Structure formats: C-alpha cells, structure tokens
Structure 1
Amino acid sequence: MLQRFITIGLLITVFFSCETETIAKFEIENNTSTTIDSLRIVPNGYESDYYISLSSGQLKKYDCNMTDIADVDGDYRLDYKFVTSLFETKTFGYYTNGYPIEKLIRISIETDTIIVDYELNTY
C-alpha cells in the first residue's frame, strides 16, 4: 500500500514539474541623450503594466512572460516614451504558437531609429 502511494506521489510530482514558464528575453539599450521614462514590450493583442525606465546610455534586461498567451502566431509591440514626449509604438519580431523563436532579442534605441538584433534558438 505504501509503495502505491509513493508511486502516485512521484507521478503527480513529475506531471506538475513539467509545467514551465515561457519567457521572451530582451536586452534594451538607450543610445539617445534623453531618459526613456516608460518602456514595455508585449505580445500582439495583450497588455501589461510592467514598465521600465532607461537613462541615457543605459542597458537593461527585460523579460516578457508569455506563459498565459494563446497558442497563436504574432509579433511584439514596443511602447516607449521619453520624459518630454508622447508614447511611440513599434511592432517587430515574431513568435509562433505562443513561444518565442529567439533566445534573445537585442533592441538599441537610437535618436532617429530603433535597431533590433535577433539571437535565434537552436533546436
């Protein structure tokens, strides 16, 4: 009887330990002379209240939790604003079936453009 409980316990543990979070990883660098007051990245069709700020020349890591999004394809939306401006939006990248295809996405915000560089996962 004890062995049966141990077996059931192990099966339940294995089943629940297989559940993992899906995280899209970003590195964002502010290469402007102005502080970015509010910046967020969200999958297409979703919202988030998680904002970061970046001083001039600062580099920060940003994780976007995609665990609860639908198993669909889409892109990312970058929303940001400088201290003295309105929000600007840029769509970029691609995810498939609710999972990022990149290991890391590097974003460089320049004075007049945004540069996005992708480091793909190897499968």
Structure 2
Amino acid sequence: MSKKLILYISILFSILTSCGYKRQPDLILLNNSSTSFEAIYTSTSGSTDSVNIGSLSVGKELKSRFSIDDLDTSDGCYFIRALGDDGRVITKCFGYYTNGSSLNRGFKLIIENDTLLIDSW
C-alpha cells in the first residue's frame, strides 16, 4: 500500500471517530467536600423530568449517565442538583447538546467545599 493511501485512510478514520456524538454522556461525580449528599438529581434544560442517581458520601465517587433520548432536536445544557445532609444545595447547568445530540462524551464533576469543578471529554 502506498504511503498516500495509508495517510488518507488514517485521516478519514480520525475524522469519523472524532466527530461521533454520544446519546448518553458518562457522568462521574467525586465528593472532595466535607458534606455527604443524600440525593443527586440529573436532568437537562430541555426536560421536565429529573432522575435521582443516588447519594454520595465524603471522599466517594459515583458513576452514571445523562439520558437525552427524549430531546428530539432541541438545544440546551445538562443540569445537576445535589442535596447535602447539612442543607447545602448545589445546582449547576453545564455542557451543551444541540439537535438532541451531545457534544461531549462525558463529564467529571468534583465537589469541593466552596466550588464545583467540571471537566469534560
């Protein structure tokens, strides 16, 4: 096989794999705060339903997914609400989906005492 053909195939493969979207982006939550959270809810700005994905103790990690199957062709952000045992409430809208498709494959949210750090891939 010629070097040009290998190069073209490599470029095509890179384009096809990097442009793919994910219907249910991964979600990883890490609690680095001093508060346990009794309930964590996820939803999207285009949905009226939220899902309780569980609780999160201090120093623990929780894995889940966002479901955006019911969005059809809308645009919006992902939403999280966490209710702490001490009355603390965290709410945050982050990320972006368009035409019912996620632009991110996943998110890692790190809860600190005074902030919520968000990383995406």
For 2:90 and 2:27, the matched residues in 1 are separated by 18
| Residue deviations 1:39-69 (CA, integer Å, cap 9, x gap) | 1221103222323110101111111211112
Q: How many residues align?
A: 99
| Residue deviations 1:22-52 (CA, integer Å, cap 9, x gap) | 2121111011122111112211032223231
| Residue deviations 1:52-94 (CA, integer Å, cap 9, x gap) | 1101011111112111123111011111110120533111111
Which deviates the most, 86-95 or 107-116? 86-95
1:28 aligns with 2:50: no
1:56 aligns with 2:58: yes
Q: What TM-score, normalized by structure 2, do the two folds share?
A: 0.74
> Percent of pairs identical after alignment?
29
For the residue of structure 2 that corresponds to 1:68, the secondary structure is helix
Q: Structure 1 runs of 4+ off > 3 angstroms?
A: none
For 2:93 and 2:118, the matched residues in 1 are separated by 11
Q: What TM-score, normalized by structure 1, do the two folds share?
A: 0.73
One-letter amino acid matched to 2:31: N
Larger radius of gyration: 1
For 1:87 and 1:98, the matched residues in 2 are separated by 28
Which deviates the most, 77-86 or 52-61? 77-86
Question: What root-mean-square deviation, in Å, do the aligned CA atoms of Structure 1 and Structure 2 show?
Answer: 1.6
